[in-house]
């Protein structure tokens, strides 16, 4: 037995947090994105609550999402 406490629950919690990634909209870079609700056929579709994007593709890279967000906000400002 090692001198380490036997607390597998807290270790598992840390590992789970590390695996959870922030999801970003590929159209506007927002984090306000959720699984689309409604018909069962939409089980693999994401929906952005900010820009209305609906699709299966999602971004999990925060650097890329930041660039997408800047470009989206610039385009909106120019309209």
Q: Is residue 15 part of a domain?
A: no
As a residue count, the chain comes to 79
Q: Is residue 36 part of a domain?
A: yes
* Total domains present in the chain: 1
Q: Is residue 57 part of a domain?
A: yes
Q: Where are the alpha helices (DSSP H) in 1-79?
A: 8-19, 62-78
The two tokens of residue 51 are 């820009």
Q: Is residue 13 part of a domain?
A: no
Q: Is residue 67 part of a domain?
A: yes
Q: Is residue 10 part of a domain?
A: no
Q: Is residue 1 part of a domain?
A: no
The one-digit pLDDT tens for each residue of the chain (79 residues) are 455 555 555 555 554 555 568 999 999 999 999 988 776 766 789 999 999 999 999 999 999 999 999 999 999 999 8
Whether the pTM exceeds 0.75: the reply is no
């Amino acid at each position: 037995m090692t001198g380490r406490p036997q607390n597998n629950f807290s270790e598992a919690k840390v590992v789970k947090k590390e695996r959870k990634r922030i999801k970003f909209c590929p159209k506007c870079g927002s984090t306000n994105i959720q699984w689309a609700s409604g018909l069962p056929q939409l089980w693999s579709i994401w929906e952005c609550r900010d820009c209305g994007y609906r699709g299966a593709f999602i971004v999990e890279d925060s650097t890329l999402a930041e660039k997408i967000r800047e470009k989206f906000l610039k385009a909106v400002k120019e309209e």
